C-alpha cells in the first residue's frame, strides 16, 4: 500500500460528529499536522446534524423505557452513515468504528490493523449514546480506550487517530522504522535521560544519569534498556509481562528448531547457511 504524498492513496479518516469544530484539533499541529498538510493522510468531518430532517433539526430523543438523558436517533445516524460508507453492504466500506467504553480495548495491534485499512470511519456519540439498532444494522465495530466515561466520543477519536497517524510512513521520521520501540515487543518504555548529566532536583539533591548511558558502549546500553523495560513491565503490568514471556519462549523454541534442522543438511543439501 502506498501512503505517499497526496491524493487518493492517502490514509483517510472520516469522522461523524455533532461537533466538527473539534477536528482536526491537536491533529492539526506538530508532526500529524504536517503530515495532514502534506497529504500523507486526510481527514473528513461530517456534521451529523446536517442529516436531521425535521424543522428543529433534532438528532436526539428521549430513551424508550424512561430514564435520564437523551439518545441519538437511528434515522439520522443511518442517513449519515449510509451517505459516508455506502451502507453496511457496500464493498470497500472500510472499518466503521463506534467509540464506546463497551468496545474492544484499543491496543497497538488494533492500531496496526487500522492503519493497514485504507479508509476508517469513526462515529462519535454524545448524550447517553446511540440507538442500539444502528450498531447492529451498520455492523459498527465498538472500540474502547479504557474503562472511563467521556462526555462524547470525540476526544477518543482524536486519540485513536493520533495513534494511527504516527505509524504512517514519513510521519515520525525514522524513529520507529526499525521496530526498536519497546511496545513493539509488548514491553513498556525504558527510562529516558538527557542533559545535564548531573541535575539538582527541587530539594537540592543531585540526581545523576545511570553510568552505563554515558559509557558509549552501545551493546551495554541496549542490554540495560531491555532489562529496565522488562523490570518496569513486570512490576506494573503483569498482564503484558505474561504475554511477553510467552512470546519470548515461543521465539526461543523456534530458534532451537531452526538450528536443529539447519545443522543437518536436508535432502537437497541445503541448510548449513545462516
- Cα-Cα end-to-end distance for the chain: 31
| 121 is a site residue for ligand 9WO (CB under 6 A) | no
State the cell numbers at 200: 539538582
For ligand 9WO, which stretch binds (CB under 6 A), given 152-160, 173-181, 192-200, 253-261?
A: 152-160
Counting beta carbons within 10 angstroms of the beta carbon of residue 66, is it exposed (0 to 12), middle (13 to 18) or buried (19 or more)?
exposed
Task: Choose between 121 and 233: whose C-beta lies nearer to ligand 9WO.
Answer: 121
Residue 22 touches ligand 9WO, criterion: CB under 6 A: no
**Sign for the pseudo-dihedral over CA of 30, 31, 32, 37:** positive
Task: Please identify which residue in 149, 194, 216, 273 interacts with ligand 9WO, judged by CB under 6 A.
Answer: 149
Sheet holding 119-123, edge to edge: 41-47, 11-17, 119-123, 95-105, 141-144
163 part of the interface to ligand 9WO, by CB under 6 A:
no
Alpha-carbon distance of 42 to 13, in angstroms, equals: 6
Q: Is 145 in the site for ligand 9WO (CB under 6 A)?
A: yes
From the list 25, 33, 63, 152, which residue makes contact with ligand 9WO (rule: CB under 6 A)? 152
Task: Tell me which of 9, 31, 137, 150 binds ligand 9WO, using CB under 6 A.
Answer: 150
What is the residue whose three cell numbers read 441519538?
A: 72
Q: Are 210 and 193 in contact (CB under 8 A)?
A: yes
Question: Do residues 80 and 140 lie in contact, with contact meaning Cβ atoms separated by under 8 Å?
Answer: no
From CA 195, how far away is CA 199, in angstroms rounded? 8
Q: How far is CA 202 from CA 94, 131, 199, 210, 243, in A?
A: 52, 53, 10, 19, 39
Position closest to ligand 9WO via CB: 125
Q: Does 144 bind ligand 9WO (CB under 6 A)?
A: yes
Site for ligand 9WO contains 132 (CB under 6 A) = no
Q: x/- contact string, 63-102, with ligand 9WO (CB under 6 A)?
A: ------------------------------------xxx-
Q: Binding to ligand 9WO (CB under 6 A): which residues in 225-264? A: none
- Residue 186 interacts with ligand 9WO (CB under 6 A)? no
Which residue ranges make up the site for ligand 9WO (CB under 6 A)? 99-101, 125, 128-129, 144-146, 148-150, 152-153, 156
Amino acid at each position: 500500500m502506498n501512503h505517499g504524498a497526496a491524493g487518493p492513496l492517502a490514509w483517510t479518516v472520516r469522522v461523524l460528529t455533532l461537533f466538527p469544530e473539534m477536528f482536526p484539533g491537536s491533529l492539526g499541529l506538530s508532526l500529524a499536522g504536517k503530515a495532514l498538510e502534506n497529504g500523507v493522510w486526510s481527514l473528513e468531518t461530517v456534521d451529523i446534524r446536517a442529516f436531521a430532517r425535521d424543522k428543529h433539526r433534532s438528532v436526539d430523543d428521549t430513551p424508550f423505557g424512561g430514564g435520564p438523558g437523551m439518545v441519538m436517533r437511528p434515522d439520522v445516524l443511518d442517513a449519515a452513515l449510509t451517505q459516508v460508507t455506502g451502507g453496511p453492504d457496500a464493498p470497500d466500506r472500510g472499518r466503521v468504528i463506534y467509540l464506546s467504553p463497551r468496545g474492544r480495548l484499543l491496543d497497538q495491534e488494533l492500531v496496526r490493523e487500522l492503519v493497514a485499512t485504507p479508509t476508517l470511519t469513526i462515529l462519535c456519540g454524545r448524550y447517553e449514546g446511540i440507538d442500539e439498532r444502528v450498531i447492529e444494522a451498520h455492523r459498527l465495530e465498538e472500540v474502547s480506550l479504557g474503562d472511563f466515561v467521556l462526555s462524547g466520543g470525540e476526544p477518543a477519536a482524536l486519540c485513536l487517530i493520533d495513534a494511527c497517524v504516527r505509524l504512517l510512513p514519513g510521519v515520525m521520521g525514522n524513529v520507529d522504522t526499525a521496530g526498536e520501540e519497546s511496545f513493539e515487543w509488548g514491553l513498556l518504555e525504558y527510562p529516558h535521560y538527557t542533559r545535564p548529566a548531573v541535575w539538582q532536583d527541587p530539594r537540592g539533591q543531585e540526581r545523576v544519569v545511570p553510568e552505563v548511558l554515558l559509557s558509549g558502549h552501545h551493546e551495554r546500553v541496549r542490554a540495560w534498556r531491555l532489562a529496565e523495560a522488562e523490570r518496569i513491565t513486570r512490576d506494573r503490568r503483569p498482564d503484558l509481562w505474561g504475554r511477553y514471556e510467552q512470546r519470548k519462549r515461543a521465539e526461543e523454541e523456534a530458534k532451537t528448531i531452526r538450528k536443529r534442522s539447519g545443522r543437518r543438511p536436508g535432502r537437497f543439501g541445503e541448510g548449513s547457511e545462516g
